[in-house]
Amino acid sequence: MKLFASFMVCMAFLAPIADAEQKRAGNEPLSVEEMQAELFGIRMSGVVVQTGQPWNECVEPGGRTLYEFGGGFSEGLLQITEDGQACFTYPETGTSCFRGQRAPKGYMFYAVGGGGTFHANKIERGVKRCIASDLIG
């Protein structure tokens, strides 16, 4: 009986840790507040899940973005909607919105209404200004 009681005490202490690990691993969509706190002032890079193509994106604290894909650069704007979508607007392609989740390494971004899934597996925080030469590599 003592062993069972010890086990239950351990589980009571470990359950909150396991729950925090599960949330950190990306099992729930990022909230509006989390997106605003985590997606502005970052440089991220990764791959398009469906194709393996690499991409890079930088988001300044004010929302100005610089996106590099396939050797070309686009300057745009990130806005977070009231319902928790990260919407990126670029002159060449218009607006694309994504739901975001934490992943074991970085973030996963799922296109709303179909399209690509982007895995951001390298994140640099504290970015103040986006410069194209910082995205290469």
User: What is the pTM for the complete model shown?
Assistant: 0.78
Single out the residue of 57, 40, 66 nearest to residue 128, CA to CA.
40
User: Taking the domains of the chain in order of start, what are their residue ranges?
Assistant: 29-135
Question: Could you write out the DSSP letters of every residue in 76-124?
Answer: EEEEE-TTS-EEEEETTTEEEEEEEEE-SSSEEEEETTS--EEEEEEEE
pLDDT of the residue at 136: 58
Class of 29-135 in CATH: mainly beta
What is the spatial distance between Cα 89 and Cα 78, in angstroms, rounded to a whole number? 7
Per-residue pLDDT at 11 exceeds 50? no
pLDDT of the residue at 133: 81
pLDDT of the residue at 43: 96
pLDDT of the residue at 13: 39
Provide mean pLDDT across the span 46-63: 96
Do 47 and 57 meet the contact criterion of CB atoms below 8 Å apart?
A: no
